[in-house]
Each structure stands twice: as C-alpha cells, then as structure tokens.
Structure 1
Amino acid sequence: MNKLYLSEINIYPIKSLGGMSLQSAQMEDRGLHYDRRWMLIDDEGTFITQRKHFELSQLQVNIAEGRLTINHKTRFNQNISFDLEEQTGANITVKIWDDISKGVEVSREVSDWFSNFMKIKVRLVKMAPTENRFVDPRYATDHEVVSFADGYPCLIIGQSSLNALNEKLAEPILMDRFRPNFVFTGGEPHLEDQFNSFSLGEIAFTAVKPCARCVLITIDQQTGIKGQEPLRTLAKYRTFNKKILFGQNLIHSGSGIISVGDELKVQTWKEGH
C-alpha cells in the first residue's frame, strides 16, 4: 500500500464557527491546542451550533498575537476580538448533548456582540481550566478527556473519501463541510474505516467510532445556505444501522507537535482488513 501522509490540520476554536487551517499544532490531553475551547450557550446553558443556526458558518475565527478575532466572511465591518485569557471568572454549568460540563463567560461585551448577531440571547464561554469532560466510557480506554467537541478529541477523514463522494455529486463540495481535524492523502476511499491504531509523529491514536453525520454537512460553509447534499447522496452508500457515517473519531495518548507532511503509520487494522 502507498504511504499515507497528513495533508491538513484544522482547529475550530469556537464550537460551530469557522475553522483555522494550520501547518503544525500541539496535541494536548483534550485534543489539538485551542480546538473547541470556546462555545456559545443559550439562557439555559445548552450549547448552540450550526445545526439550527446556519449563520454561524459565516463567522471566521483567527488566533494571532494572544488574541482571538471573529470576522464575518462577507460583512467586513462586523468583527470583535478578545484576549485568549479573558474571562469573567465565574463557572457556568453548560450542557453538550448528554454531558454536563463547566465553562466561564469570556465577557459581557463579547456575549452581547454574539447576541446582537444572532438575534437571541447567548453567551460565549471558555472551558474551565480545571474541567475534565470525559470521553464516552464505552469507547474510552484510559479515561480520556475532551474539549467542547461533540464527543471525541479528534476526527480524521481521508482525502480519497471526499474525492469519491464528489464523483457522485452534481456539484463538488469542500472538506470543510465535515469539520475534520486531520485529513490524509493516499489509500482507497474510506480507508480510515479500517484503522485501529496509528501514529502521527510521536502521538499514538486509536480510531474508536465512526462519525455519524447530520444536517450540518448540508450547510455551505462559504455562503451559509442549506441544501440537501451531500446527505442525500451519502445516504445511498454510507448508511449503516440507520446512521450515515463519514470519518473516524479518535482518542490518543501522548502530547507533542503534529505537522502537515507527517507520515501516518498504521500499526493495527480493524478485523477483516
């Protein structure tokens, strides 16, 4: 088999907003440095995502010189920034799916900016530094922790998987619909389904669960417009046990730097490969 190489590293500092593409990144216990460390919540503390609020796709996040900046992709006068360490200090109970976690509001000013943008009252919270949100024990191997991501520290997809999908679509789509942390080149479509354990640099990964897909992938990340694809086409050939699967959720051990161009070395394959 041809060698596999890491071709993209992406982080999404604020859950469900635009991501950042990196050439190298630090792996930490919770996942990639800064990945999903902030999140929008409603009045009841429940997380807010593009699934209901398509307009979030139009907010681009950037981190530079110790500050996080949010820019609207087309309304260039609509932006705000804050210090990466900024927070009010008071813990807030937040809910992500079935998980209860802790966050700290960044500031009233930032929350008001988002509330004005979304036309509903929301708050932007940062994960409390002492908070341990655990990976689902059915899939964890050593009490792994996760950020405000849906459930796992990282997600990987092969470029071949997207290429195969695009061959079936009338209009090709970009990888950003699927919000992966890692993209690799080489191998056949959906080779990631067969990964059991592999390494990138000094970090050991285990592919523990296929990623079930929802309406979010039908939102064009460039325009914020929702359509029927690619969910409709994926349903025809990627449905397993009534779930549409695309990509693999990962847990890992170790910390260190991962870079684009690193070889992805598979140690063990799932049974049947």
Structure 2
Amino acid sequence: MITRPDGRFLTQRQIPKMTLIVTSLPQEALSNEWGQLSPDAALTLNAPGMDPLHVPLRSAPATEAELKQCTCWEWSGLAKDEGEDAAKWLTEFLGKPVRLVRYVGQASEGSAEANPKRRACEPEFGNGTETMFADGYPYLLTTESSLEDLNRKVPQPMDMNRFRPNIVIDGSVPAWDEDNWQSFELGGGPDRAVKFHSLKPCSRCKVTTTDQETGEVGREPLMALGKFRSGKALGWSAMGSWKHEVFFGWNLGADSTGTVAVGDQLTVLKTRTAPMAA
C-alpha cells in the first residue's frame, strides 16, 4: 500500500498517475507454491521513465522499528515500512513524498478485530472476514456480460480493468445475474472447488472514471450507472447511503480454501430473491 509519510493511504482518487505503475509477480507467487519462493522473488514495479523497482517478497519478520501506524479507510493499525529505496522510487515518479508498506498480520496472531496488525472487513457485512489493503474486501467479482451491457450505455466502451476485480466470470451468464448469487463455488472439479458467498454489492467511486492506460479522468461510467444501477433504481436499502450510490460487481468472502484458476467452472449454490433489502 502506498501511503503519505504520516501513514494515511493513497489511491488513484488522489493521484491518477498511479494508474501508470505496472506491477508483476513471479509465477510461484500466483499459485500454491508461495511457501517455496526463491530468495530473489520480488514484486516488480515499472513506470514510464523509471528503472524497474524490485521489492523482495521473502521478508524477515518485522521488527518493532520497522512497524509504523497506518490507516486505510476506517482501519488503523501497524504495517511494515518497505524502506528508503521503495519510498524514493515512488516519490520520484508520483512527485510527492510517499512510502510503501506491507501487510504483516497473520491468522495465528489472534482475531482480526483485536490485533493491530490485522484488518477486519466492515462489521455490517463482513461477518468476521479479514482483508488486507484492498478497498474493503478480499475478493471482487464482476461479469463480462454486465460490462457488455454497460458498454452499450456509455459513449465509448471501456475495459474491465477500470473496475479492478480479481474474479471475472465470462459471458456465459446473463448480464447482472450476479446480483442473485448468494453463494457459489469455483473449481475444476470436486477436489479443487472453492466456495464463496456474496457479502455486499460494490459501490463505485471516481477511480472508475480513470483510463487505466493513460491516467486521464472523465465522467463515465458513473453517469451511465447512475441511471440504472443506483441503490434507488435497484431498490437496495440495506444502507441509507446506498440510495445515491451506484453499483458494479460484488464483494465476496470465501467459505473454503483452495486454488482458483482461469477456466474454472461456476456453480451457483444458492440465490437470493430480494438483494440487500433492509
């Protein structure tokens, strides 16, 4: 997570230029081989006009001196500062003093609610789910069908990367059908299926108006979503503020562990009849 020097988190909302930073990870960090990372395994950051920055993935346990107080939305707790090289690289590219911090909470260290190194999702919907430095939840699901429908309502079609999901369902499901999924599983077979449940619809902010390739900021898709995907239009009243918010995608929690891969089959286990009514 990128923060101000005082530990307050920063996003594309404040610095649209962050869209131009491209990250990459070694293959073993994207699979169940995480425990077998090589000593030189690194998170690599690239940006226009900059030499690559390599941030080691294997890290010694943080000392008290390396921990700093950070805030991410409603959460305030301790994270590990990644040092001067990372801070210097990001400060030079973004044009303002910033730091890079690492989430260090471990499940073995007690409940997320009681441990200053761990972050629990908002209690209204999280049901004890832990997340790290994502906006609010560990998983965000969208569907290609819903994006196709939205793209018919905006002046210029846009890519899915504006919405930053980590699970995307292909066009084999009807547009907006994800609103009805209360629980489902993804997997290549019964021995590798991971069960998920929908926690809350994802309200969208101005980050979606930023072109992820250029950093340019416009007005869509928020204008279009406001006409048919607002809480008022959808009849969603679980929170009073939802009346004026717009929604695309769903935040999830996981009910089991496992590996999810491209090409996995979606199986809906339970549907809801009245999404997110109070």
User: If the length of structure 2 is used for normalisation, what is the TM-score?
Assistant: 0.80
CA drift at 1:67: 1.1
Task: Render the CA deviation track for 1:208-253: whole Å, top value 9, x for unaligned.
Answer: 1000011000000001100111111111111111111110000112
SS at match of 2:118: coil
Partners of 1:172 and 1:166 in 2: CA distance: 5
Partners of 1:94 and 1:82 in 2: CA distance: 19
Task: Verify: 1:116 aligned to 2:92, yes or no.
Answer: yes
Equivalent residue for 1:167? 152
Partners of 2:186 and 2:73 in 1: CA distance: 30
Structure 2: where are the runs of 5+ without partners? 27-39, 107-116, 188-192, 232-242
Does the 8 Å CA contact 2:185/2:195 hold for their aligned counterparts?
yes
Task: Verify: 1:223 aligned to 2:214, yes or no.
Answer: yes
Equivalent residue for 1:21? none
Partners of 1:137 and 1:170 in 2: CA distance: 38
Partners of 1:193 and 1:160 in 2: CA distance: 12
Task: Verify: 1:204 aligned to 2:214, yes or no.
Answer: no
Partners of 1:77 and 1:214 in 2: CA distance: 29
Point out the structure with the larger strand share: 1
Partners of 2:139 and 2:131 in 1: CA distance: 9
Partners of 1:129 and 1:242 in 2: CA distance: 35
CA drift at 1:127: 0.5
CA drift at 1:43: 2.1
Q: CA RMSD in A?
A: 1.6
Which has the higher relative contact order, 1 or 2, with Cα contacts under 8 A spaced 6 or more apart?
A: 1
Equivalent residue for 2:46? 71
Partners of 1:168 and 1:135 in 2: CA distance: 33
Equivalent residue for 2:178? 192
Q: Where does structure 1 differ by over 4 angstroms across 4 or more consecutive aligned residues?
A: none
Does the 8 Å CA contact 2:151/2:158 hold for their aligned counterparts?
yes
Task: Render the CA deviation track for 1:144-166: whole Å, top value 9, x for unaligned.
Answer: 21111111110001110000011
Partners of 2:55 and 2:201 in 1: CA distance: 35
The structure with more radius of gyration:
2
Point out the structure with the larger helix share: 2
Task: Verify: 1:82 aligned to 2:84, yes or no.
Answer: no
Task: Render the CA deviation track for 1:30-84: whole Å, top value 9, x for unaligned.
Answer: xxxxxxxxx0111221100001100000000011261111111xx2544211211
Structure 1: where are the runs of 5+ without partners? 1-38
Task: Verify: 1:60 aligned to 2:22, yes or no.
Answer: yes
